Structure 1
Amino acid sequence: MITRVHRRGSRVGGLLRYLWGPGKAEEHVNPHLVAAWDGAGSLSDLEPKVTASGRRSLRALTALLEQPVRAGYRPPTKFVWHASMRLAPEDRHRSVSDTTWASMAVEMLTEVGVATVATDPGLRWIAMRHADDHVHIVATLVREDGRTNWLRNDYPRCVKATYDVARRYNLHRRVPPADRTAHRRPHPAEVTKARRTGRAQTPRDELRRRVRTAVAAAGSQEEFFGRLRAAGVLVRLRHSSTDPRQITGYAVALPEARTADGKPVYFSGGRLAPDMTLPKLLLRWGTPTPLPAAPVVGRVERTAAMRQAAKVAATAAEDIRRDACAAPGRAQATAVAAADLVTSLAAAVEGDRRGPLHRAAEAFDRAARDLYGRVQKPTGRSQQMRAMSRLVALMGRISGDDDALVVLALVMDLARFADTLEQLRSAQQRLHQAEAARAAGDVLRLVAGGRQPAVTPPLTATSTPAPTVGGGRRTARGR
């Protein structure tokens, strides 16, 4: 079940006429009330009557809902609040009665603050039903005592209240509240521009992938900025106003992504992901284990590095299972470092191609991120895991079949780590991240099982990234 909060309006009558009308495609069947505010009286008295012409008279119900607004002190311009509660497809086979819908709506609205008892002169609202799988809720935002209830942050409050209702009524699909672990999605204007210019990805998505790869392979801000420039990214640094030698932030841009007047479009780290600001990156890196600047790279060295990384990943999964309750901060730092290892492995195996390992790295990064963009201090295990991430990055591209077996073994260990992370997030009731960890584990197992190619073709192959904005082609409009 999910609740959608619609845009606020100023015409109660117009909204009611639509809800009790035939709908846009005759989809409204048997519209009727299922609940109303405490003290409203009988629902049969509130129900709009059918006139001699066959139409419903909505004037009485409109007047009752607007009465507090007319008598209120400086009411808002848009005082009509509209929301809809809808069942998920897997729950629509259930026969939900009007009484059950009324109970679910009242419980949700009470937790949000819309519904109150009769002794509290609160808002006037109604819940009506014209389909089997959803109900509509209409409320006016002026209380009966004349004060305005602005219902600030109404959407996150509705999501949390709906999740609680779905859990109490044992519904299959429960959408948990937002935990702010997801990265920022591209704006529709960015997607439209990327499609118009023939790009397979928006600049924001491409920059986030390149920045994440540089973060996983770097151990200091100097190395981080150097890797970004080596990857063809424009970097703009922000210096402290008190100490010009101190760098306090950064912004990145693609050379080919520019505005109409030819200026690069820069994105700060915080606009790419909540944990990519420079202060959080510095805390995330801590004091890295020193690595040789230019190690000898060969088949033996690469195989040894992959086996060492697999061993560390298996040990880190055991640490997470042990520290989940006693030391959640250590488990969190280890999970973030494991996400860096998956990112470095995806870059080493697939390069610029957005294959299955890149998709697993994106899901793993979401699953490992801490709530609200927080960053935990590094631990000995996380530093060891991060050293493996840097070592894999220094090994360079992996091509051919010589290293395929050792890569598949590392991928399988990371899949088991993803399963452990899913169990941790499920125990923490962070269900969005548990789902992301499950998705990452599924993709990694497909790669390890040989059902997805784990090693890219030779380096001379043409890069063909998977489309993220409709293939980068403009579709012809229907005539």
Structure 2
Amino acid sequence: MIAKISRGWRVEGLVRYLMGPGRFNEHTGQRVVASWDGAPETHQLAQAADGSFDVRYLVDGISAAAVAAGVGLREPVVEQGKRVPQGPVWHCSLRNSPEDPVLTDEQWARVVEDLLDRTGIARRGDPDGCRWVAIRHADDHVHVAAVLVRQESGKRVHPYRDFVRARETCQAAEAELGLAATAGADRSSATGPSQAEQEKATRREMNESSRERLRRMVRVAAVQARDPEAFVAALGELGVLVRPRYGLQEQDPEPVVEQHAPMVGYSVAAPGDVSRAGQPVWFSGRTLAGDLSLPNLLLRWDSAPAPEPVPASGAAGETRRATVSPVERAAAIDDAVSTMEHATATLAAGETGASADGIAHAAGDMLAAVGVVTGRQDQGERVRRDAGNDLDRATRVPGKVLPSRWSPAAKALRQSAWRLAATRTVGRHGAGDGARLVLALAALVAEIAALRETQARRAQAQAARRSCIALRSSAQAISARPASNGPGRGRMKTTRRQQPQQPPPGPARAPQARRQENQTRGRGR
């Protein structure tokens, strides 16, 4: 069971949508299954001949306490550039997996009552709780609409950590009702695109939202740079609009922001994605993902020593666009494959602690680097988009933003990713090298899936397995490219080391079984 919470101002608009036909006529059998007074049957709405419902009586009942207390239910007008404050209308959707049994109205009512009790919106037996209703219009989910004003005192309610309480409610319902188990709230997940962002992407004929594409571009820039200035330059080369934020010079008598002051943050925007006022829609790094805030990027860049400079031919001052020598490109590719094989062997040896989390997180940088250099061959974006989105979920550390420890294998993996990204491409004839990199990465991701299974993080294990499947599909497509690419170093090779054998992305091996197997074949490097 998954819960999704949002806040707003117009309770009438929310109820009208929930009782309406939906955007694509997907709402059927609309009805109230639970209410604040324990009598949902008294709030059932009669359906007109045209299928519509008159929701005014229900809306008046839910908002009565707010109206009596003088709490506004209309979005206030704010100055341009300022954020609209959270409204008193609380909306939560609870959705089951398609494989779950269909719950009865009474079962959904008990789940909703538990949710409101845990969040403090309406404690059981509390006459001063907020008014709310639960509306059902499908077999697999229910919606809760509440006005966060107490009935008797008229005080506003501000639910504390309601997202965490909602996750606890879902897990309790899964255990009680035999539903598919989901992971607990880890406070590390990236914010997904809102419905408005998805609809805008559809109107712009884009296959993903600006938020999702920007998150991927920022990860690429983070592996191409090792300091804020180079990071901003890399974003510009990727075609991303970037707005750095600089701190104050402490020695200045007046607090004047200067360009030479240290950079303390940044925002990015996608070209062509504008607001109603025609201004770019900006996203801070923190809103894209927790580990993409500038302070966390600085910690990431400091987590490993800098790689050796890439020898290149080109004009002075143009090192980012300079041509990398074939020798250095070959050395960077071989180093990346070797480092990934070593990290894979380390996980296969049974490493499951904080050091393993560091390897998994550094694997995300390696995927970004492999995506950069195989961009010419990976035309379907299986590496950069499909595998990357799933691996991003699999590499997070529950309750944290970054791992607490970087092992030598994790440092080497990150350093190798930086060196590989600096080469920019495997070359026009690099199909063989591209496939080698992707296969080595797939083997590492398969071990990450096994690691997450051992750690009982099943959702992350499933995400890693999906990423592994996408990587293997990409390697197959890259190696099957027409021979017109010509001969050269990029031709696919067949040695065991260059084409590592990966275990299928299925159930994990137990750590003890890994160690026994490893004693037979050697403990890696």
The TM-score, its normalising length taken from structure 1, stands at: 0.69
Match of 1:108? 115
Instruction: Report the Cα distance in structure 1 between the residues aligned to 2:471 and 2:122, rounded to whole angstroms.
Output: 47
| Preserved contact between residue 356 and residue 452 of structure 1 (Cα < 8 Å) | no
Instruction: Report the Cα distance in structure 2 between the residues aligned to 1:199 and 1:129, rounded to whole angstroms.
Output: 32
Compared CA separation, residues 76 and 341, structure 1 to 2 (3 A) = same
Is structure 2 residue 463 aligned with structure 1 residue 408?
no
Pairwise CA distance, 1:441? 1.2
Match of 2:382? 356
Pairwise CA distance, 1:320? 4.5
Pairwise CA distance, 1:388? 1.5
Instruction: Report the Cα distance in structure 1 between the residues aligned to 2:38 and 2:213, rounded to whole angstroms.
Output: 58
Match of 2:99? 90
Match of 2:419? 391
Is structure 2 residue 322 aligned with structure 1 residue 294?
no
Pairwise CA distance, 1:221? 4.5
| Preserved contact between residue 127 and residue 152 of structure 2 (Cα < 8 Å) | no
Instruction: Report the Cα distance in structure 1 between the residues aligned to 2:216 and 2:164, rounded to whole angstroms.
Output: 32
Compared CA separation, residues 288 and 101, structure 1 to 2 (3 A) = same
Instruction: Report the Cα distance in structure 2 between the residues aligned to 1:41 and 1:264, rounded to whole angstroms.
Output: 47
Q: Which runs of 5+ in 1 are unaligned?
A: 51-55, 460-479
Instruction: Report the Cα distance in structure 2 between the residues aligned to 1:250 and 1:318, rounded to whole angstroms.
Output: 37
Compared CA separation, residues 251 and 354, structure 1 to 2 (3 A) = farther
| Preserved contact between residue 220 and residue 369 of structure 2 (Cα < 8 Å) | yes
Is structure 2 residue 288 aligned with structure 1 residue 281?
no
The one-letter code matched in structure 1 to 2:395 is A
Match of 1:473? none
Pairwise CA distance, 1:284? 0.8
Instruction: Report the Cα distance in structure 2 between the residues aligned to 1:193 and 1:125, rounded to whole angstroms.
Output: 33
| Preserved contact between residue 418 and residue 437 of structure 1 (Cα < 8 Å) | yes
Match of 2:254? none
Compared CA separation, residues 77 and 318, structure 1 to 2 (3 A) = same
Secondary structure (helix, strand or coil) at the match of 1:343 reads helix
Q: Deviation string for 1:347-382 (max 9, x for gaps)?
A: 112249562221223433443245564465644322
Compared CA separation, residues 177 and 369, structure 1 to 2 (3 A) = closer
Q: Deviation string for 1:214-267 (max 9, x for gaps)?
A: 322334445545555665667665544226655324657789769799998876
- Of residues 186-195 and 368-377 in structure 1, the stretch that sits farther from structure 2 once superposed is 186-195
RMSD: 5.2
1:338 to 363, 368, 377: 363
The higher relative CO (CA closer than 8 Å, separation ≥ 6) is in 1
Is structure 2 residue 262 aligned with structure 1 residue 247?
yes
| Preserved contact between residue 374 and residue 425 of structure 2 (Cα < 8 Å) | yes
Pairwise CA distance, 1:278? 3.3
Instruction: Report the Cα distance in structure 2 between the residues aligned to 1:89 and 1:16, rounded to whole angstroms.
Output: 26
Q: Deviation string for 1:385-442 (max 9, x for gaps)?
A: 12211332344422466661x5434323322322332344456666664444232211
Secondary structure (helix, strand or coil) at the match of 1:241 reads coil
Instruction: Report the Cα distance in structure 2 between the residues aligned to 1:320 and 1:156, rounded to whole angstroms.
Output: 33
The one-letter code matched in structure 2 to 1:313 is M
The TM-score, its normalising length taken from structure 2, stands at: 0.64
| Preserved contact between residue 335 and residue 421 of structure 1 (Cα < 8 Å) | yes
Is structure 2 residue 187 aligned with structure 1 residue 179?
yes
* Equivalences, count: 443
Match of 2:221? 214
Pairwise CA distance, 1:325? 4.9
2:471 to 428, 440, 444: 444
Compared CA separation, residues 74 and 425, structure 1 to 2 (3 A) = farther
1:309 to 327, 336, 349: 336
Instruction: Report the Cα distance in structure 1 between the residues aligned to 2:245 and 2:367, rounded to whole angstroms.
Output: 30
Secondary structure (helix, strand or coil) at the match of 2:167 reads helix
The one-letter code matched in structure 1 to 2:418 is R
Match of 1:170? 178
Instruction: Report the Cα distance in structure 2 between the residues aligned to 1:35 and 1:201, rounded to whole angstroms.
Output: 37
Pairwise CA distance, 1:48? 5.9
Q: Which runs of 5+ in 2 are unaligned?
A: 47-52, 75-87, 251-257, 314-323, 487-525
- Of residues 250-259 and 381-390 in structure 1, the stretch that sits farther from structure 2 once superposed is 250-259
Compared CA separation, residues 153 and 317, structure 1 to 2 (3 A) = farther
Pairwise CA distance, 1:131? 5.3
Pairwise CA distance, 1:8? 5.1
